[in-house]
Amino acid sequence: MSYIAVLPPWIVLDPLLHSWLLEDIGRGDRTTGSLLTGEVRLGCADWTAKQAGIIAGLPIAARVFQLLSHYANADKVPSGIGFIPMDVLLMGERVALNIAMRLSGIATLTQQYVEKIADLPARLVDTRKTTPGLRLLEKYACQVGGAINHRMGLDDAVMIKDNHIAAAGGIAEAIARIRQKMPYPLSIEVETTNLTEVEAALESGADIIMLDNMPLDLMHQAVQFIRSHSHQVKIEASGNITLKTIRAVAQTGVDYISTSGPVTRSTWLDLSMNIVNSSTDSLS
């Protein structure tokens, strides 16, 4: 069960990585800056996982060191060796580990959810409950763990909730008004909590119907009802999904199960980095 996740291109991510490095380095690494000057020492780093889990974020950790290397005095660095300057290793270590540990923790828990329903057609999807600033990367970690991403933000899909329906004066009115204005390839999803709302959403032409916090039997009825009318509409279950409940939810026949669990209930995977100093001899 190997998933290849889609990482946004570096032109999108690099500004983020830059800001992380500046957050940690501040006005300069006092310790390294005071001790590792003059001659350039090179080194390399071994990473070890002290815990079983799914590793995510290694390309990002590598990019952290790559970015930092661009700012080192490259002309002093002997080329053609797989080692990089020690000060780069020391200055980038914490940031690289922090992101990899956080993302690996998410990927690990995601996979545990995914395994519960691996033999069923339902697919796990994530939510917009992500750490502010890390949306793209935490959703990447969910992919690494085997989930599919839900919408990335408020702009790439429409999700109609109770306040919207109230503002529009009904589900049908809301969908009609939105279809006139939103970019046409976007999907419209409607949150429903009972069969009346499910029916209204179905009749109004929703692309996705979310069954929100429904008891299992009600969810089962809703799926049956929708499927008896349409095979195109996607059905998403949401609300209180846990490792214990997810399988039963999947068995109702929904297409997608969305949960923030892997993001909000995961802890960091314990990784460590060991820096190996290149001996002076090896360079001479």
Which CB atom, from 30 or from 217, has the smaller least distance to its own copies? Answer: 30
Helix (H, G, I), strand (E, B) or coil at 175: helix
Residues in the chain: 284
Q: Does 44 bind its own copies (CB under 8 A)?
A: no
Cα–Cα distance between 127 and 150 in angstroms, integer? 6
Q: Is 40 in the site for its own copies (CB under 8 A)?
A: no
DSSP code of 44?
E
Annotated active-site residue in 161, 162, 203, 227: 161
> Candidates 159-167, 193-201, 213-221, 245-253 — which segment interacts with its own copies by CB under 8 A?
159-167
- The token duo for 199 is 């029916």
Concatenate the DSSP letters of all residues of 99-124 into one string. Answer: HHHHHHHHHHHHHHHHHHTTTSS-EE
> Using CB under 8 A, which of 181, 215, 217, 228 touches its own copies?
181
| Residue 139 designated active-site | no
Among 1, 2, 4, 121, binds its own copies (CB under 8 A): 4
The single residue listed with the structure tokens 């001659």 is 39
The binder of its own copies chosen from 44, 58, 134, 218 (CB under 8 A) = 134
Applying CB under 8 A, among 47, 77, 112, 135 the residue interacting with its own copies is 135
Site for its own copies in 91-110 (CB under 8 A): 91, 94-95, 97-99, 101-102, 105
DSSP state of 226: H
Q: How far apart are CA 237 and CA 221, in angstroms?
A: 13
Selected from 122, 144, 171, 174, the binder of its own copies by CB under 8 A is 174
Residues numbered 52-91 forming contacts with its own copies, rule: CB under 8 A: 67-68, 71-72, 86-87, 90-91
* 195 vs 207, beta carbon nearer its own copies: 207
Residue 202 makes contact with its own copies by CB under 8 A? no
Nearer to its own copies, 98 or 251 (CB): 98
30: part of which helix (H) or strand (E)? helix 30-35
Measured from the CB of residue 161, what is the shortest distance to its own copies in angstroms?
8
DSSP, collapsed to helix, strand or coil, labels residue 280 as helix
The answer to whether 129 is a known catalytic residue is yes
Task: Check if the beta carbon of residue 112 is closer than 8 Å to that of residue 81.
Answer: no
> Is residue 1 close enough to count as binding its own copies by CB under 8 A?
no
Helix residue spans in 117-232 (DSSP H): 135-144, 162-168, 171-179, 195-203, 216-229
* Residues 236 and 206 sit within 8 Å (Cβ to Cβ): no
Per-residue buried b or exposed e for 24-55, using 16+ beta carbons within 10 Å of the residue's own CB:
ebeeeeeebeeebeeebbbbebeeeeeeebbb
Q: Which is closer to its own copies, CB of 77 or CB of 159?
A: 159
| Residue 58 beta carbon to its own copies: minimum distance, rounded to whole angstroms | 13
Query: Which residues are catalytic, by number?
Result: 94, 129, 161, 191, 212
